[in-house]
């Protein structure tokens, strides 16, 4: 998979063009809910919250990647999205 990357002057880590604060927040929310669900160890509403957070995070990443690819002039098939 190709991703446009640049080097950060401060620490030399790669910056991925589709990684944004929105994506980071969605993944962090998913992780927090998942850890809370594991703590419960019973079937609860946390499972449905986690399932929803997982879907939201996946769609957020997909949308961000598509926008990034389109910004760099790549053609994106309109039938690709879920």
Rounded Cα–Cα distance for residues 82 and 79 (Å): 8
55 located within any domain = yes
Residue 11 counted as domain residue: no
What percent of the chain has a predicted confidence (pLDDT) above 90? 38
> Is the model's pLDDT at 2 over the cut of 80?
no
The domain tally of the chain equals: 1
Prediction pTM value? 0.67
Query: Is residue 58 one of the residues assigned to a domain?
Result: yes
Q: Is residue 29 in a domain?
A: yes
- Given a cut of 60, whether residue 51 has pLDDT beyond it is yes
Residue 1 binned pLDDT confidence (cut-offs 50, 70, 90):
very low
Average predicted confidence (pLDDT) for the chain: 79
Polymer length in residues for the chain: 82
Give the DSSP H/E element, type plus range, for residue 70: helix 45-71
In a 13 Å sphere around the CA of 81, the CA atoms on its Cβ side amount to 11
């Amino acid at each position: 998979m190709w991703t446009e990357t640049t080097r950060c002057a401060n620490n030399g880590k790669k910056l991925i063009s589709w990684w944004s604060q929105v994506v980071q927040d969605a993944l962090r929310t998913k992780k927090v809910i998942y850890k809370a669900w594991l703590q419960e160890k019973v079937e609860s509403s946390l499972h449905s919250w986690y399932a929803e957070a997982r879907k939201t995070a996946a769609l957020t990443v997909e949308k961000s990647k598509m926008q990034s690819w389109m910004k760099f002039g790549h053609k994106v098939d309109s039938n690709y999205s879920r």
